[in-house]
Structure 1
Amino acid sequence: MSEHRTLDSFALYKRLFGYLRAYWRMFAVSLVAMVVAAATEPLFASLMKPLIDGGFVDKDKTAMIWTPLAIVGLFLVRGVSSYLNEYTTSYLSGHLVQKLREQMFGQLMRLPVRYFDDHPSGRVLSRIAFDVNQVTEAGFNVITVVVKDGITVIGLLALLLYTDWQLTLICLGVLPLVTVIVKVVGKRLRGLSRQNQHNMAQLTQVLGETIDCQKVVKVYGGQDYEAARFAHSAEAIRHNAVKQSSMSSLNTGVTQLVISMALAAILYFATLRAHAGNFTAGDFMSFLTAMLMLFAPVKRITSISQSLQRGLAAAESVFGFLDEHAEADHGRRELGQPRGRLEFRDVRFRYPSAERDALAGVNLEIEPGKTVALVGSSGSGKTTLVSLIPRFYDPAGGEILLDGEPLPDYTLASLRSRIALVSQEVVLFNDTVAANIAYGRLDEVGRAEIVEAARAANALEFIEAMPQGFDTLIGENGVRLSGGQRQRLAIARALLKNAPILILDEATSALDTQSERLVQAALENLMKNRTTIVIAHRLSTIENADRIVVMHQGRVAEEGAHAELIERGGRYKALYESQFAEAREA
């Protein structure tokens, strides 16, 4: 789906209002309140005639009493209706934003991994946090102005026509010119709003990266560089805001100039008619009041173009995100308890814009309950191969079978429920130890099961030493834990899941020797009776694997047991001896 897909305004509004069908009664109350509040303005102007003619000219005591009381009653009605309008509008716009945010977050979790590879996280965050708020401006703020002020303008014009239709025609003569001005400026404002969304995404991206990578920034002295990136993004936002303000002010200024010229002509001819005796003092006061009251709503209507275009640009962004294609999930078969036999048949895969295939025809069979280690130099296709098993990506050619059935035949949820993953980059949440171990299943498992998983992962000792034990908050991504502790929590999570297929992606490569021993012992507990695929950096950790598969440039170069491969004297032996020599020198 295109990042800058253009939708017409009618389609956007139609889609926005689809979210509010369940609240149509509240919306009806809001519209009625708008209409009532708008009707009070021309009614107030019309009261000027009896007030002036009856109270001041004719000295009518009845008019002197009921006209002020009518004005008080009118403003009472206006106050109540305005309150109802504000409350219902706030209620509805709040529900609209909440629904859109919830839908966008749901869509976020359904999008394929490739989407996040192609789109900066800052743009995704700004869509949900920033763009969705702007949508309300295309919704209720604009509707309030258009409906309320529109009815006010119509009512005031009707009063003007009733009072003197000839003078009022001068007002109507400027409307086509105002419409053209609003349309031209509106198109420019919408383009500026799209650019502002892009600028906000860049600012969020720089901010997020600086927070996530703050240690690297400090060590490598990147403060000035990051400050310059941030300043560039902030400058772009400021420059865009000035442009939007300039265009909006130009729109308002030119429109007001045109209207003021029409009002000046009306005032001139009205005074001539008053001198000729065709206008009473009350007629003139009523006409003048209506004419002056007309100025404010017309100004708001012409100024709403900026909010409208900003909101419509945001709606394009939000609906463009919601219309992104979710992960392909056409499977009709629920995966029960699989035996765990995996088969790769001529599997090919290439990343977008890559010069060559990451996988170039891989054929591999993994028997149930066996441990297969994938080794090879960086870029040989190991991680790509295991990423295809939980269907983070789908192969461009060939197929992968689980227990003799192609992976796409199984539903994604049932397939992934039978796979556990422990990687080098452990992902933990800013929650309690227990919530991280039982992630996704906290309501399904008891504390005893969580404790047992921690014990099997050699994590119980350090967890019990923490201030609140299993209820201790571990900070963002487990920042309060050591690398070995984080890794053992990830292993405990995998143990608790008790999935028959296990993927270990360099799970011990970043650990010191003592932590590696503890983690390796925990992994041995985890690997029992499971089909296990291990990506290993340290070859010493996979010597006991049932089979070792050597990858090279996206292909299987050789495979066999450790002793067999050493005896064969191929790539594996060269890798092994190279690491052994490095360890000896160290």
Structure 2
Amino acid sequence: MTTIPATSSFALYKRVLGYLRPYWKVFLVSLLSMSIAAATEPAFARLMKPLIDGGFVNKDGSSLIWAPLAIVGLFLVRGLTSYINEYSTSWLTGHLVQTLREEMFAKLVRLPVNYYDDHPSGRLLSRIAFDVNLVTEAGFNVITVTVKDGITIIGLLGLLFYTDWQLTLICLAVLPVVSLCVRVVSKRLRGLSRQNQQNIAQLTQVLGETIDCHRVVKVYGGEGYEAQRFQRTAEAIRHNGVKQSATSSANTGVTQLFIACALAAILYFAALRAHSGSFTAGDFMSFLTAMLMLFAPVKRITSISQSLQKGLAAAESVFGFLDEQGEPDNGTRRLQGTRGELLFDNVQFSYPAAERPALQDICFAVKPGETVALVGSSGSGKTTLVSLIPRFYEPSAGRILLDGIPLTDITLASLRQHIALVSQDVVLFNDSVAANIAYGRIGEVSREQVVEAARAANALEFIEAMPQGFDTLIGENGVRLSGGQRQRLAIARALLKNAPILILDEATSALDTQSERLVQAALENLMQNRTTLVIAHRLSTIEHADRIVVMHQGRIAEVGNHAALIAQDGLYANLHRLQFKEPAHD
């Protein structure tokens, strides 16, 4: 997988900030408000000098009036600017998360099929659901702390220098040590953050599989095994969290120790100066207040490394995903219509790391409106072959032509617009019956067209018997429907699409006899006047196909109609005997 190198933190940060460009005015307001809020802290420390020297030492009554009022005004300004900063930052964070999620989802639906084959769904879900939120740690929380506390530290250091530069130098002596601690800890935290993202992805994967396969888990008594898988992953997340907290806490503790040593030295020398008379009580109070106020922002600045490394590790994951190559779509031709003539010209295909090619030397043509059945044992390459037609995969060699046009010359959207697919594993959405039938054409077709498609698919009777008819929610992947009902909804969806090329991938293999009869009748309606490729497990369903292509170990072994292949007494005849228990020919 393509990822941005861990060392390119600046490049990651620059890319995150690039998403703020459309909202630069709001970002400017946020920076301005947090800067004003930060400036109030050194101003408050400075007010200690006139308050102490004027009000308590010199007994100046006016100082006792205006100094407290100035403090109230200062905190009024601070409260208002802090509110503006928090609101604008939250607004920007929301837009950043939304934009990244939308971009990631747009990338998700355009990734090639082999990407889904190679990457667990849990990792994909965790990237979009969790990693994006962590990017905001690098995007805004770090900016807020860095800018606000940075200005506070600079202002307080300026006040300290103004009050007594010699004492301030003692403060600066600890900075190199603090910087070294931050650098060492940052590297450690980045690695822990990456590992934590992998652990969360694994946790999501276990959850998803347990939910999707809950029936299998129950019937095979897998509750204990799944609980152990979940426990191991949850424990790994807990260990990682403890390591991150321990690392961050150790960094903060060491930093605070050095600052405390510097503070003790400053107090000692300040007391000597006050004793000699060169340091007033107001100076001392102002210096001490600034020193104490400096402690908190320095602590936050040194602790921000954990959030920063989490955010940058998440940004690596998010941008690595966004940089993945989508499906190759270099075609320029858009089909206005098609006759449905297909030609497989010496097609070959190999899966990555496979021991042998899945398809070899595939050469045959399908005439417009012809029904061609593909049969053969499991692993013979039938599903792989039909997957090349909508370009779910690209041939390793050879080419496929539609009406004499190479598929690679046609845009993906235009090509797939002319193809309908009905498979054994029906995919339905947790939506209404009508929405599932009209999927891909919602808003383009009328309710009457949806009803007509359902009627042609022999689905109208059971749909009208449902509580809300076509508006009934069918549950996740049609869980409230039987296998035959789900299959007929898929056929209605294909009928409504009205594509000239139809692919049927073992569409009746998992059905009982009654359901198969209804589905088969619906399929016959669907196949009329369409170029159809049928993958069949039950040979009885394809006996009337125009041609039958028998495949064996990725090659075409036999071609002919049912009668000719039975008479040939080859692979097809043998498969037929196995299914129907026929005696062998003499």
Q: Same fold (TM over 0.5)?
A: yes
Matches within 5 A, 1:241-390: 241-390=241-390
1:30 and 1:14 mapped to 2: Cα distance? Answer: 18
1:129 and 1:404 mapped to 2: Cα distance? Answer: 44
1:165 and 1:361 mapped to 2: Cα distance? Answer: 84
Give SS of 2:109's match. helix
Displacement of 1:436 in angstroms is: 0.1
CA distances 1:41-92 after superposition (whole Å, capped 9, x unpaired): 0000000000000001111111111101000000000000000010000000
Query: For residue 530 of structure 1, what is the aligned residue in structure 2?
Result: 530
1:256 and 1:23 mapped to 2: Cα distance? Answer: 37
Displacement of 1:316 in angstroms is: 0.4
2:522 and 2:262 mapped to 1: Cα distance? Answer: 84
CA distances 1:370-423 after superposition (whole Å, capped 9, x unpaired): 000000000000000000000000011111111111101000000000000000
1:477 aligned to 2:483? no
Matches within 5 A, 1:370-519: 370-519=370-519
Give SS of 2:218's match. helix
The amino acid that maps onto 1:557 is A
1:96 and 1:154 mapped to 2: Cα distance? Answer: 29
1:122 and 1:522 mapped to 2: Cα distance? Answer: 37
Displacement of 1:17 in angstroms is: 1.3
Give SS of 2:556's match. strand
Closer, same or farther: CA 582–109 of 1 in aligned 2, 3 Å: farther
The amino acid that maps onto 1:538 is R
Residues 122 and 205 in structure 2, CA contact (< 8 A), matched pair in contact too: yes
Normalising by structure 1, we get a TM-score of: 0.99
Give SS of 1:204's match. helix
1:178 and 1:393 mapped to 2: Cα distance? Answer: 54
Residues 186 and 306 in structure 1, CA contact (< 8 A), matched pair in contact too: yes
The amino acid that maps onto 1:253 is G
1:37 and 1:211 mapped to 2: Cα distance? Answer: 49
Query: For residue 204 of structure 1, what is the aligned residue in structure 2?
Result: 204
2:5 and 2:149 mapped to 1: Cα distance? Answer: 32
Give SS of 1:56's match. helix
The amino acid that maps onto 2:239 is H
Residues 349 and 357 in structure 1, CA contact (< 8 A), matched pair in contact too: yes
Displacement of 1:2 in angstroms is: 3.1
2:379 and 2:323 mapped to 1: Cα distance? Answer: 33
Closer, same or farther: CA 5–579 of 1 in aligned 2, 3 Å: farther
1:413 and 1:26 mapped to 2: Cα distance? Answer: 38
Query: For residue 137 of structure 2, what is the aligned residue in structure 1?
Result: 137
Displacement of 1:13 in angstroms is: 1.3
1:3 and 1:495 mapped to 2: Cα distance? Answer: 43
Give SS of 1:398's match. strand
CA distances 1:272-324 after superposition (whole Å, capped 9, x unpaired): 11111111000000000000000000000000000000000000000000000
1:366 and 1:402 mapped to 2: Cα distance? Answer: 10
2:485 and 2:357 mapped to 1: Cα distance? Answer: 36
Query: For residue 164 of structure 2, what is the aligned residue in structure 1?
Result: 164
Give SS of 2:354's match. coil
CA distances 1:90-136 after superposition (whole Å, capped 9, x unpaired): 00011000000000000000100000000000000000001000000
2:176 and 2:400 mapped to 1: Cα distance? Answer: 65
The amino acid that maps onto 1:547 is R
The amino acid that maps onto 1:402 is L
Query: For residue 116 of structure 1, what is the aligned residue in structure 2?
Result: 116
2:398 and 2:523 mapped to 1: Cα distance? Answer: 32
Query: For residue 233 of structure 1, what is the aligned residue in structure 2?
Result: 233
Residues 138 and 312 in structure 2, CA contact (< 8 A), matched pair in contact too: yes
Query: For residue 179 of structure 1, what is the aligned residue in structure 2?
Result: 179
Give SS of 1:110's match. coil
The amino acid that maps onto 2:528 is K
2:568 and 2:4 mapped to 1: Cα distance? Answer: 56
Query: For residue 14 of structure 1, what is the aligned residue in structure 2?
Result: 14
Closer, same or farther: CA 120–144 of 1 in aligned 2, 3 Å: same
The amino acid that maps onto 1:210 is T
Residues 7 and 316 in structure 1, CA contact (< 8 A), matched pair in contact too: no
1:573 and 1:442 mapped to 2: Cα distance? Answer: 45
Identify which range, 4-13 or 461-470, moves more after superposition.
4-13
Identify which range, 57-66 or 150-159, moves more after superposition.
57-66
CA distances 1:191-243 after superposition (whole Å, capped 9, x unpaired): 00000000000000011000000100111111111111111100110000010
1:239 and 1:350 mapped to 2: Cα distance? Answer: 42
Displacement of 1:3 in angstroms is: 5.5
Give SS of 1:47's match. helix
Displacement of 1:450 in angstroms is: 0.2
1:355 and 1:335 mapped to 2: Cα distance? Answer: 37
Give SS of 2:362's match. strand
Give SS of 2:581's match. helix
The amino acid that maps onto 1:566 is I
Query: For residue 2 of structure 1, what is the aligned residue in structure 2?
Result: 2
2:430 and 2:520 mapped to 1: Cα distance? Answer: 26
Closer, same or farther: CA 580–4 of 1 in aligned 2, 3 Å: farther
Displacement of 1:18 in angstroms is: 1.2
1:373 and 1:559 mapped to 2: Cα distance? Answer: 10
Give SS of 1:339's match. coil
1:5 and 1:31 mapped to 2: Cα distance? Answer: 29
Closer, same or farther: CA 455–330 of 1 in aligned 2, 3 Å: same
The gaps in structure 1 that reach 5 residues or longer are none
Displacement of 1:6 in angstroms is: 2.9
CA distances 1:151-205 after superposition (whole Å, capped 9, x unpaired): 0000000000000000000001111110111011001000000000000000000
Displacement of 1:4 in angstroms is: 7.3
1:361 and 1:218 mapped to 2: Cα distance? Answer: 45
2:247 and 2:6 mapped to 1: Cα distance? Answer: 21
Residues 51 and 64 in structure 1, CA contact (< 8 A), matched pair in contact too: yes
1:517 and 1:69 mapped to 2: Cα distance? Answer: 89
2:306 and 2:157 mapped to 1: Cα distance? Answer: 25
Identify which range, 56-65 or 40-49, moves more after superposition.
56-65
2:262 and 2:535 mapped to 1: Cα distance? Answer: 79
Residues 3 and 319 in structure 2, CA contact (< 8 A), matched pair in contact too: no
- How big is the alpha-carbon RMSD for the aligned residues of Structure 1 and Structure 2? 1.0
Matches within 5 A, 1:27-176: 27-176=27-176
CA distances 1:470-526 after superposition (whole Å, capped 9, x unpaired): 000000000000000000000000000000000000000000000000000000000
1:509 and 1:582 mapped to 2: Cα distance? Answer: 21
Give SS of 1:75's match. helix
Give SS of 1:545's match. coil
The amino acid that maps onto 2:278 is N
Residues 2 and 323 in structure 2, CA contact (< 8 A), matched pair in contact too: no
Residues 381 and 554 in structure 1, CA contact (< 8 A), matched pair in contact too: yes
Query: For residue 545 of structure 2, what is the aligned residue in structure 1?
Result: 545
Displacement of 1:346 in angstroms is: 1.1
Displacement of 1:442 in angstroms is: 1.0
